[in-house]
């Protein structure tokens, strides 16, 4: 029996999705050799009543965002994705106002600013905000989004025409306060666009590397629909996205809006139902998939390739869970290459593996490179195609372990 209650409906949480035990916080790198990382229980459960998949040990966001290392600007795929979204929204709209929650390094807002839109951003990571280029068109609130902040924003700036949040609705531990705040930002005319890592492909594909402390929640449309409805909002359209190993974009309006619900939304709700999103068995199958994958990748890295020089690419959050769950250290992976200068020579959380500048690949000449952000593997393989010169190969960990 457990006393832990669902963050949304307060029903007792009894069904385990995974229990990875002690895992360090992702994106939390250290400078010294042999550092110790504080590790926290990473346990995910599903609520039988409202189907919200959630972490049971919510690390305070201040610990996570104190020194945040993720910058949107480093991924070409992400920049292209943002550009497409900006084009979609701004093609028939001039001089509008946009509010982005989780604006990071302003990658998206800078694009809107170029279209002469006025921009408001909310971003808690102070180290990121400090390094952002000054732009008088962009007003940043360097704090966590909350019900309180939503009121301040409306008082000062009025309603925005668009409210955008990419990979942010799963990152607020107090889900009720966050959605109450979100609801405050809507009037009968404006539109919200939110993208999040979609639960269904994760469950079906067994992509446990997308589970980490920063993600307090893992949403399906079925479950998010319930949450939004409670706060007087509704999803009127959806779009499936390939980004981040399967994401979903939802278009949101106030519940009383006259905008009609699209066929696509209803189709996806039906599809989720047929896929067993409301059956506990589906979540149990996920657990089995995770165990099988762990066994196979461990065998490859710790036995089969033991005598080879193996490195990894992409010191991102995704790799954090994977490498720590498998208990990989420098005896298995020599170093992790990364493009970001912020991370150069730092130690990857919990593993003791150093992060190396990309330029060192040609010197080190690894036999194998494990691509951690496998969702953008095409971009990475293209960038690193020169490893073929010494017959280097890539290991792609998901959807199926593959050597190319
Ligand atoms: Zn619940």
Interval between CA 176 and ligand 1 midpoint (Å): 12
Band (387; pLDDT cuts 50, 70, 90): very high
CB count within 10 Å of CB 116 equals 11
Residue ranges covered by each domain of the chain: 63-280, 294-403
**CATH node for 294-403:** 3.40.50.720
| Residue 356: strand, helix, or coil | strand
Residue 60 has pLDDT above 90, yes or no: no
- The string of pLDDT tens digits covering residues 141-153 is 999 999 999 999 9
Asked, colleague to colleague, whether 63-280 and 294-403 share their fold, the answer is yes
Interval between CA 220 and ligand 1 midpoint (Å): 13
Q: Which residues surround ligand 1, an ion (CB under 5 A)?
A: 6, 8-9, 11, 47, 49-50, 52
- The string of pLDDT tens digits covering residues 88-115 is 999 888 889 999 999 999 999 999 999 9
Interval between CA 222 and ligand 1 midpoint (Å): 12
Interval between CA 364 and ligand 1 midpoint (Å): 50
Interval between CA 281 and ligand 1 midpoint (Å): 17
Interval between CA 223 and ligand 1 midpoint (Å): 9
- In the β-sheet with 310-313, what is the strand arrangement from edge to edge? 355-357, 336-338, 310-313, 368-371, 393-396, 402-403
Say which DSSP state 354 is in: B
Say if CB 165 and CB 185 are below 8 A apart. Answer: no
The closest of 216, 122, 209, 212 to 171, measured between CA atoms, is 216
Interval between CA 276 and ligand 1 midpoint (Å): 17
**CATH node for 63-280:** 3.40.50.150
Tell me what pLDDT residue 92 has: 84
Q: What are the DSSP calls for 100-154, one per residue?
A: EES-TTSHHHHHHHHTT-EEEEE---HHHHHHSPP-TTEEEE-S---HHHHHHHH
Interval between CA 212 and ligand 1 midpoint (Å): 20
Interval between CA 46 and ligand 1 midpoint (Å): 8
Peptide bond into 399 cis (omega under 30): yes
């Amino acid at each position: 029996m457990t006393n832990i209650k669902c963050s949304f409906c307060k029903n007792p949480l009894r069904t385990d999705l995974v229990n990875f035990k002690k895992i360090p916080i992702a994106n939390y790198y250290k400078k010294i050799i042999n550092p110790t990382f504080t590790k926290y229980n990473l346990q995910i459960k599903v609520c039988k009543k409202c189907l919200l998949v959630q972490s049971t040990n919510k690390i305070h966001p201040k610990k996570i965002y104190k020194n945040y290392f993720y910058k949107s600007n480093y991924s070409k795929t992400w920049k292209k994705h943002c550009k497409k979204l900006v084009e979609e929204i701004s093609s028939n709209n001039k001089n509008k106002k946009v509010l982005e929650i989780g604006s990071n390094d302003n990658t998206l807002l800078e694009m809107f600013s170029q279209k002469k839109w006025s921009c408001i951003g909310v971003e808690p990571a102070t180290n990121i905000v400090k390094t952002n280029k000054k732009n008088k068109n962009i007003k940043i609130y360097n704090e966590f989004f909350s019900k309180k902040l939503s009121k301040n924003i409306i008082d000062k700036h009025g309603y925005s025409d668009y409210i955008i949040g990419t990979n942010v609705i799963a990152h607020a531990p107090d889900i009720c306060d966050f959605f109450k705040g979100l609801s405050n930002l809507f009037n009968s005319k404006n539109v919200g666009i939110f993208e999040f890592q979609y639960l269904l492909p994760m469950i079906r594909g067994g992509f446990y590397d997308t589970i980490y402390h920063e993600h307090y929640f893992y949403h399906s449309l079925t479950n998010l629909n319930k949450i939004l409805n409670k706060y007087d909002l509704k999803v009127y359209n959806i779009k499936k996205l390939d980004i981040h190993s399967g994401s979903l974009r939802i278009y949101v309006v106030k519940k009383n809006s006259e905008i009609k619900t699209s066929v696509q939304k209803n189709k996806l709700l039906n599809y989720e139902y047929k896929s067993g999103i409301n059956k506990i068995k589906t979540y149990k199958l996920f657990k089995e998939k995770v165990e099988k994958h762990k066994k196979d990748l461990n065998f490859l890295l710790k036995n089969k390739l033991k005598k080879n020089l193996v490195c990894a690419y992409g010191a991102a959050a995704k790799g954090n869970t994977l490498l720590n769950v498998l208990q990989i250290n420098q005896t298995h992976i020599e170093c992790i290459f990364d493009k970001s200068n912020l991370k150069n020579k730092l130690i990857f959380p919990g593993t003791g593996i150093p992060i190396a500048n990309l330029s060192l690949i040609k010197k080190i000449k690894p036999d194998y490179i494990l691509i951690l952000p496998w969702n953008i593997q095409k971009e990475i393989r293209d960038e690193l195609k020169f490893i073929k010169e010494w017959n280097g190969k890539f290991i792609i960990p998901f959807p199926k372990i593959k050597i190319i």
